[in-house]
Structure 1
Amino acid sequence: MNEFNSMDDLRDELVTFLYDVKAIKLGNFTLSSGIISRFYIDLRILQSYPVYFRKAISLLKMLVFQRIGWDGFDYICSIPTSGTIFGSALSYELFKPHIYVRKDMKGYGTQKKIEGDLRSGSRVLFVEDVVTTGNSLLNAIKTIFDQTENNRVVVIMDRDQGAVEKFRVYDIKIDRAITINQTIEILKKNKRISDFEYRTIKDEMVET
């Protein structure tokens, strides 16, 4: 893979590939947030396709360097399970320490909720694969809020359904590699979806 592909090129390649392998599906789906949606995005499939997984990580790297900078954070943090696939890989690529926050505290052993060695007062970059309402991500941030400062978030795919606005209230910025609006423009341009399917997703964006 050419490491010097532009972000636009990488977005196009990644989105069309995700659609072709049915990681982007159209229909009627109930999301983990309880929202009923006309489309579903599952980026976990990328771990089975190393070339495209690397394209996703390259896209995140570009986003980090353009918007935040390598010196703009001390740790990378992810949320199990799917976010950890990407967070740990990005950590490896950027030579940054990685931690993750469990959804629930372990009921055995040390009963830790944070895995890894987090120094108090650190700046943390949270990595997520797909964000809708952002509730699970916000809960993870709250878990380590008193130990950290100037937290930032990067996501591969933002469904454009309120997370950015919600996090703005907490003075936390979300940088997105791909938005759902960019996704449907790419799919329409590359003749993957019909005009009707395009309008159906657009209508959902207006409704939410």
Structure 2
Amino acid sequence: MAESKSSPVFDAQKVTVIYVLGGPGAGNVIGKGTQCSKLVDAFGFCHLSAGDLLREEQNRDGSQYGELIRTCIREGTIVPSHVTIKLLENAMTEEVKKRTGDGWTDGRGRFLIDGFPRKLDQAVGFDETVCLASLVIFFDTTEDVMLERLLERAKTSGREDDNVETIRKRFRTYNEQTMPVIEYYKTLDKVAEIDSTVSVEQVYRVASATVSKLFS
């Protein structure tokens, strides 16, 4: 008799997960952080950045993943799926336990997950083991604009991955590995593609209207 597949940790009827994706630097063009904070204020989301969780983990004393994460960030490659998925699951579990208020009672929750999934196996792995995603917000723009923004950020960021060589690697990785994620969710009719070359206000109007439909 075949072994039955275990259910995800969270029930997608109770917990809403929205992925926020865009090419390297797309967020700098329209202020992806700004967009996420506006959506947090309007809809009561918890905003989780996969990149922030990984950066915190690489510096955490005693982390079993620290050196691996550091190497991946330096090389512009993607951290193994099981690491990122586990960090997100742990963060979500904590939030569901401690939060109260609209959208957060009786095991419910609302999450904006930023910069994840970067690969198809991450997408499928998270959907199957943690929670089925409801929507992907995809901020789209050109590589030229992304490069210009990242080099501008490099002047003040102090991040070791903000240099032309690593940025080019990140573009290649993005095209080869992240775009198939967008295509996959398009086949499931779960992608809201938003032109991020327009103003912050215009981008937010579209993003907000898209999210409103989920909760209407």
Same fold per superposition (TM over 0.5): no
Looking at secondary structure, tell me which structure has more helix per residue: 2
TM-score by length of 2: 0.31
Looking at secondary structure, tell me which structure has more strand per residue: 1
